[in-house]
Amino acid sequence: MRNGKRVLLIGGTPKHLRKAVDLGLGVVYVQFEDEFVPEQRSLAEAVLLTDYTDWQSLRPLVESAYGTWGFSAAVSLTEPGLDPAASVNDLLGLGGTPYEVSHRFTDKWLMRRRLAEGPPVGARRVAAALLTDGDDLDRFGAAHGYPFIVKPTSGTASFGVVKVDGADALAAVRQRIRRLHTATEHPLTGPYDIEQFMMEEYVPGPLYSVETFSFDGRHVVLTVTEAITRPRTHVHVGHALPARLSAEDEERMADTARRFLGSMGFRDGPAHTEIILSPRGPVICESQNRVGGALLTDMIDAVYGCDAQSLALSWALGLADPLPGRPVARGAAASWLVVAEQGRVERVEGVERVRADPDTLAVNLGVAPGDLVRPLEGQWDGLGHISALGPDTDAAIDACRRNLREIRIHTRAA
């Protein structure tokens, strides 16, 4: 049933579009032409096909659509659409997170600068610098020691993140950065501008993320998620919630996330804040002003009864009440990245057995015979995720990994 509200939804998946429609919203849908599925046309009142990361292309289309459709807010549930949505809301005076704040999340260098300028957040600040020439690597290593991290200032899913273990690795790191500058075949080189890199001090310790939803500056923690990360590539291969932490450490993580969001000037909507639990305490890694990927939306909804993506849409349109406090977990959930040997896919086995398992929460696997499997250098190089439920976090992880072994993806050399 329609509620009379209309949203400009920028980017995202067909599932995002269906969530908006299920809330009774009229939708003006903005999407890349090569990602639009014709079946979505029946769900939207209007469709704008354009490179929405190009403001000069997006602005006149949005102004025309606003004159015709009069939407109440622009929203995006996907990383490339966050800054464009903020720009639309600024342009039309629709409220929501302004571009200045949104861009502090999508540009990791701006985030580090903001943290450096404000009161301390977490156990300590992290030394960071922009990479402007090849000698910067030597200077940073000499000043801050090894190992240290090099990563793009924009992007997601651990794409382009490199751990520099010592001075003897600098030549290989420079070569890798040159390849990333000129790469065109990877899916992340389109929606993201992989041009500028930064260096960060390495912080040892396990990685977690704090999932929050902010209501006019009141930051409600939904859960703390445990991340399982490959040491060499820093790819997040597994996620589990609630994280297996002491009550004291969990509250330290939650408090760090709340103070971080306040320091960023963030007031409304979901956020996924990655924090390293170092020997000295929580240290901010990075954050995104959206719900995390890897089926976290499904996991949070199943365990806590809160669909943060639907809430992001309804809160932006004035259709939701604030959560009164932190929700209580009912069981646990875990997700795992599905991977395969590099090459061309010949056949996929076991998916239906996993779907039929009563412990399975969700299967998001977009791979078919003929598809190319790339080297695993980021989550986007994985083939999708599976998720499972359990009475506690250990059981959920066990169920997820058991089901992962059921899936067989056979490849041949490309």
CATH of the domain at 244: 3.30.470.20
Within a domain: residue 112?
no
Averaged pLDDT, 283-310 = 97
Averaged pLDDT, 217-239 = 87
d(CA 22, CA 4): 13
Q: Does 254 have pLDDT greater than 60?
A: yes
CATH of the domain at 86: 3.40.50.20
Q: What are the φ and ψ backbone dihedral angles of 105, each rounded to 5 degrees?
A: -90, -40
Q: Are residues 78 and 168 in the same domain?
A: no
Q: At what angle do helices 99-106 and 79-92 cross, to 10 degrees?
A: 170
**For residues 261 and 247, is the Cβ–Cβ distance under 8 A?**
no
Q: Are residues 197 and 323 in the same domain?
A: no
Q: Does 18 have pLDDT greater than 60?
A: yes
d(CA 3, CA 24): 5
Mean pLDDT, the chain, as a whole number?
92
Q: Are residues 37 and 174 in the same domain?
A: no
Task: Name which of 25-39, 85-99, 254-268 the model is least confident about.
Answer: 25-39
Range of the domain at 162: 127-201
User: Among residues 76, 96, 116, which one ends one of the domains?
Assistant: 96
Q: Which one-letter amino acid corresponds to residue 331?
A: G
Show the tokens assigned to 233: 């590539």
When pLDDT is cut at 50, 70 and 90, the band that residue 303 belongs to is: very high
d(CA 393, CA 332): 5
pLDDT tens figures, 230-252:
766 667 889 999 999 999 999 99
Q: Are residues 132 and 40 in the same domain?
A: no
* Alpha carbon 46 to chain centroid, angstroms: 27
When pLDDT is cut at 50, 70 and 90, the band that residue 191 belongs to is: low
pLDDT tens figures, 129-156:
999 987 899 999 999 999 999 999 986 5
Show the tokens assigned to 62: 């949005």
- What pLDDT was estimated at residue 105? 97
User: Among residues 174, 201, 228, which one ends one of the domains?
Assistant: 201
**For residues 44 and 64, is the Cβ–Cβ distance under 8 A?**
no
pLDDT tens figures, 47-66:
999 999 999 999 999 999 99
Of 129, 362, 376, 92, which is closest to residue 232 (Cα–Cα)? 376
pLDDT tens figures, 339-377:
999 999 999 999 999 999 999 999 999 889 999 998 876
193 vs 309 pLDDT, higher one = 309
Q: Are residues 391 and 328 in the same domain?
A: yes
User: Among residues 141, 167, 201, which one ends one of the domains?
Assistant: 201
Show the tokens assigned to 235: 């790819």
Tokens 């990075």, residue? 286
Q: Are residues 215 and 275 in the same domain?
A: yes
* Alpha carbon 282 to chain centroid, angstroms: 20
Averaged pLDDT, 305-328 = 97
Up-side HSE of residue 138: CA atoms within 13 Å toward CB? Answer: 5
Q: Are residues 374 and 286 in the same domain?
A: yes
> pTM for the full model?
0.93
Q: Are residues 308 and 176 in the same domain?
A: no
Contacts of 172 (CB under 8 A, 6+ apart): none
Where residue 294 falls (left for φ over 0; alpha for ψ -120 to 50; beta otherwise) is left
Averaged pLDDT, 314-339 = 96
Q: Are residues 83 and 14 in the same domain?
A: yes
d(CA 365, CA 392): 25
Q: Are residues 407 and 342 in the same domain?
A: yes
**Strand 236-241 to strand 218-229: parallel, antiparallel, or no bridges (unpaired)?**
antiparallel
Domain count, the chain: 3
185 vs 212 pLDDT, higher one = 212
d(CA 299, CA 226): 12
Q: Of how many residues is the chain composed? A: 414
- What pLDDT was estimated at residue 382? 83
- What pLDDT was estimated at residue 183? 61
- What pLDDT was estimated at residue 136? 93
